[in-house]
């Protein structure tokens, strides 16, 4: 029996090694192959000796998902190198079998890791330690040099357009959430009491944004410590994640909706942790907590368009899980739904606020049809006529970019988008028909746009953005810390993520998706832990909305609002019994 197990594990290790080597183009003569073979054999042998989880299906499902990701991200390039159908099929089968074996056994290994060392329910809090204040000050101190170096903040075209609305240079629009634009306006006018400098007035908002994010990070650390009973040393590691990783500091001073939204989601997840670990609000503070939950729900729904859908999903889950306490649930979700619906509908309409057009929400379908046209696939004359009625589809060849959807979106806008608005059902049918004809094109178009979210490796930079986009109202970059040393130090800190293993994994959008998947599978593999999934719903819902509507594959800011939720994923899947 031992010999059979030895041979089986040796064979599994060999197949997995082969899949890794052809996928990542490691030379078959490389000495690394011997080391990898030994490591994989040890992995399979160790997993065979460990206990099995109570449920296997979550791990199997997670394995299938990650294997599918590997095949669509890497498989296309691997098989494209061979002309022979036999070789293509053979290597595709090797990749499939190898990654199925590898991912499943890695999941088994991680699920069986003992993590109670992270928690201590019987600890006593150190005297004189206000962890919330301490964490806030640490983040603030770590972020301030970046703020002073980039004063009055970092501005791309999006916030410049919002500031133009504040200054009355363009009409109010909800293309970028009007709630965020109004927040900028609030601090602009407050600062206007003391100064006429546009830099100081906008700089005050940037400083508020920095402080707000630092406070939200402090709340996460404090919640994990006091509610989940995470050890103080682990909380310090969480604090380091927020305070010391440079992209956190850079994002805190990029003036955009994503930072405020990320902070609100962090606070919302803190409240979800309290609900999961302590139950629904009750007692003396019940009204205050319900009001606070409503406020966070409203903010989350208004500070990003996909935040509204995130909250609706959470509301649905709450109704299912807490049906017996429907009276509390009613007060926790209905005010948010009513208020947000009124604001997004009658209130904005009465105030003349422009709304985003339909093209803004159809990035993935637009790219899928554009790919079919780009590769000159045959489609029916009727479908081609319908597309030509929308815009000049002959320009798809010059404008189509696999990872950037805005080109095709603007092409649609330059034509007759009102036809799409008036015939949504017909064009939905067209999208389905073409998809049934060319499903591979649809899958690959989706992959090209979402690749960096579903897969950790990627060709994109993080936190390199700096400066102020050109504008007509005098906002300029005026660094308060300057010099060659500051420039080189900033450059070094940002580049470290590209040179240090494991640490570099945190600089990837896809890493956080994979961690979320692992956390979800681990929670579901243990009976009685299912309720903890509620804590992960915001991250999962944000990722799901990006799968449907992400406009560009290489912008880290789209992933920022779920990347900051990493500590919740780790603690929810490894919490106390």
pLDDT in tens, 428-462: 999 999 999 999 999 999 999 999 999 998 878 88
3-class secondary-structure state, position 350: helix
Q: In this structure, which long-range contacts are made by residues 336-343, counting pairs with CB atoms below 8 Å and at least 24 apart in sequence? A: 336/294, 336/297, 336/298, 336/301, 336/311, 337/312, 339/294, 339/298, 340/297, 340/298, 340/301, 340/302, 340/308, 340/311, 343/302
Which tokens in the block code for residue 527?
Answer: 């009976």
Nearest to 540 by CA among 45, 59, 177, 62: 62
**Region 112-129: what's the mean pLDDT?**
67
**Region 242-250: what's the mean pLDDT?**
96
**Region 269-281: what's the mean pLDDT?**
91
**Region 136-165: what's the mean pLDDT?**
95
DSSP letters for 363-384: HHHHHHHHHHHHTT----HHHH
Is the predicted pLDDT of residue 118 greater than 80, yes or no? no
Give the model's confidence band at 199: pLDDT under 50 very low, under 70 low, under 90 confident, else very high: very high
The proportion of the chain whose per-residue pLDDT surpasses 90, expressed as a percent, equals 72
Is the predicted pLDDT of residue 576 greater than 90, yes or no? no
pLDDT in tens, 35-64: 999 999 999 999 988 877 888 999 999 999
pTM, whole model, 2 decimals? 0.93
Cα–Cα distance measured from residue 12 to residue 23, given in angstroms and rounded to the nearest whole number: 17
**Region 478-484: what's the mean pLDDT?**
89
Is the predicted pLDDT of residue 3 greater than 70, yes or no? no
pLDDT for position 478 = 93
Q: What is the mean pLDDT of the chain?
A: 91
Give the model's confidence band at 127: pLDDT under 50 very low, under 70 low, under 90 confident, else very high: low
pLDDT for position 117 = 62
Is the predicted pLDDT of residue 149 greater than 60, yes or no? yes
Is the predicted pLDDT of residue 158 greater than 60, yes or no? yes
Is the predicted pLDDT of residue 577 greater than 60, yes or no? no
- Range list of H helices, 113-256: 131-149, 157-166, 178-192, 198-226, 232-244, 246-253
pLDDT for position 325 = 85
Q: H or E segment at 85?
A: helix 85-111
Give the model's confidence band at 463: pLDDT under 50 very low, under 70 low, under 90 confident, else very high: confident
pLDDT for position 82 = 79
pLDDT for position 575 = 58
Comparing 306-310, 334-338, 371-375, 526-530, which segment has the lowest mean pLDDT?
526-530
Give the model's confidence band at 126: pLDDT under 50 very low, under 70 low, under 90 confident, else very high: low
The proportion of the chain whose per-residue pLDDT surpasses 70, expressed as a percent, equals 97
**Region 501-530: what's the mean pLDDT?**
91
pLDDT for position 2 = 59
pLDDT in tens, 377-418: 999 999 999 999 999 999 999 999 999 999 999 999 999 989
Is the predicted pLDDT of residue 1 greater than 60, yes or no? no
Q: Output the CA–CA distances (angstroms, integers) from residue 444 to 368, 378, 438, 454, in the order listed.
A: 8, 18, 10, 13
Report cis status (omega within 30 of 0) of the bond before 152.
yes
pLDDT for position 77 = 81
Q: First vs last Cα of the chain: how many Å apart?
A: 35
Is the predicted pLDDT of residue 124 greater than 80, yes or no? no
For residues 514 and 537, the answer to whether their CB atoms sit within 8 Å is no
Q: How many CA atoms lie within 13 A of 311 on its CB side?
A: 30
pLDDT for position 93 = 93
Other Cβ atoms closer than 10 A to 125: 11
Give the model's confidence band at 362: pLDDT under 50 very low, under 70 low, under 90 confident, else very high: confident
Give the model's confidence band at 79: pLDDT under 50 very low, under 70 low, under 90 confident, else very high: confident
């Amino acid at each position: 029996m031992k010999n059979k197990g030895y041979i089986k594990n040796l064979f599994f290790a060999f197949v997995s090694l082969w899949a890794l080597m052809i996928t990542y183009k490691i030379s078959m003569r490389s000495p690394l192959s011997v080391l990898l073979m030994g490591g994989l054999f040890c992995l399979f042998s160790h997993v065979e000796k460990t206990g099995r989880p109570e449920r296997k299906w979550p791990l199997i499902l997670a394995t299938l998902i990650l294997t599918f990701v590997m095949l669509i991200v890497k498989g296309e390039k691997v098989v494209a190198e061979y002309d022979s159908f036999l070789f293509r099929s053979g290597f595709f089968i090797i990749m499939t079998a190898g990654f199925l074996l590898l991912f499943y056994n890695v999941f088994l290994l991680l699920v069986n890791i003992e993590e109670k060392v992270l928690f201590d329910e019987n600890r006593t809090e150190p005297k004189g330690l206000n962890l919330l204040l301490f964490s806030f000050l640490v983040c603030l101190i770590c972020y301030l040099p970046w703020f002073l170096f980039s004063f009055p903040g970092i501005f791309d075209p999006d916030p410049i357009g919002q500031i133009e609305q504040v200054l009355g240079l363009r009409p109010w629009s909800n293309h970028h959430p009007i709630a965020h634009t109004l927040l900028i306006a609030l601090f602009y006018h407050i600062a206007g009491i003391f100064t006429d400098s546009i830099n100081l007035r906008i700089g005050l908002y940037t400083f508020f944004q920095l402080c707000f994010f630092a406070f939200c990070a402090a709340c996460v650390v404090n919640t994990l410590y006091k509610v989940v009973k995470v050890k103080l040393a682990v909380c310090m590691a969480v604090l380091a994640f927020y305070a010391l990783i440079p992209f956190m500091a850079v994002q805190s001073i990029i003036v955009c909706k994503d930072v405020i939204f990320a902070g609100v989601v962090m606070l919302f997840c803190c409240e979800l942790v309290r609900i999961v670990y302590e139950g629904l609000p009750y007692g003396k503070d019940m009204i205050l907590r319900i009001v606070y939950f409503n406020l966070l729900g409203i903010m989350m729904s208004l500070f990003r368009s996909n935040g509204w859908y995130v909250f609706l999903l959470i509301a649905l889950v709450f109704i299912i899980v807490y049906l017996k306490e429907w009276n509390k649930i009613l007060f926790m979700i209905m005010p948010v739904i009513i208020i947000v619906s009124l604001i997004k509908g009658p209130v904005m309409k009465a105030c003349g606020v422009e709304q985003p057009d339909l093209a803004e929400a159809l990035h993935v379908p637009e790219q899928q049809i554009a790919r079919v046209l780009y590769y000159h696939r045959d489609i029916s004359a009727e479908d081609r006529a319908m597309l030509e009625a929308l815009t000049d589809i002959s320009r798809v060849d010059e404008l189509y970019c696999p990872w950037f959807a805005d080109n095709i979106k603007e092409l649609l806008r330059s034509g007759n988008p009102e036809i799409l608005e008036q015939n949504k059902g017909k064009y939905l049918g067209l999208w389905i028909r073409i998809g049934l004809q060319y499903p591979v094109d649809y899958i690959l178009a989706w992959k090209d746009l979402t690749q960096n979210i579903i897969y950790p490796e990627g060709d994109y930079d993080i936190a390199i953005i700096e400066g102020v986009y050109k504008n007509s109202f005098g906002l300029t970059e005026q660094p308060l810390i300057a010099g060659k040393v500051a420039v080189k130090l900033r450059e070094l800190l940002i580049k470290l993520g590209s040179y240090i293993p494991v640490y570099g994994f945190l600089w990837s959008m896809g890493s956080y998706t994979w961690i979320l998947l692992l956390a979800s599978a681990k929670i579901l593999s243990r009976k009685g832990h299912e309720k903890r999934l509620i804590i992960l719903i915001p991250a999962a819902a944000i990722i799901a909305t990006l799968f449907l509507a992400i406009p560009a594959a290489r912008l880290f800011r789209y992933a920022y609002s779920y990347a900051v939720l990493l500590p919740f994923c780790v603690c929810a899947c490894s919490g106390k019994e």
